[in-house]
Amino acid sequence: MEASSYHSSSSHPYVPTDLHLPDFVPGFLSQSTILGVFGTSSLLVVSIIWIISGRCAKISKIDRLLMCWWAFTGLTHIVLEGYFAFSPEFYKEKTACYLAEVWKEYSKGDSRYAGRDAGVVAVEGITAVLEGPASLLAV
């Protein structure tokens, strides 16, 4: 095979190894850093909603937990999936942009994301634009 049409497994960490990702830049952040930022941010969102909902009129604990869930899932859809849907060249990011790093890492488990599979992009776009705001509306 010609060098221009073949990518060795060292050019990117995704399967299939011949997935065409021109100008791919490896991730800068470790998996533990990515998960730590996500976990801390999620805990912050849930804590803020829990505190605010406790100051409102009598709301049951179940309803408060549901408010926390809908806020968490809504922001996850809008921020994370919105970035993916509207940043088609995240794998080229040359800085430690957290959201690009999330998708570089996530694509190791499902390379359709790095390869911009049309079905995946469409579903993530719909989720980010419709389901995310609808979840926040539920709060």
pTM of the predicted structure, to 2 decimals:
0.85
User: How do residues 7-66 score in pLDDT, each as one tens digit?
Assistant: 444 488 898 888 889 999 999 999 999 999 999 999 999 999 999 999 987 899 999 999
Q: 8-27 as b/e, with b when 16 or more CB fall inside 10 Å?
A: eeebbbbeeeebebeebeeb
Please provide the distance, in angstroms rounded to a whole number, between the alpha carbons at the two ends of the chain. 55
| Domain ranges, ordered by start, for the chain | 31-138
Q: Which two tokens stand for residue 28?
A: 């800068």
Confidence of residue 3 (pLDDT cuts 50, 70, 90): very low
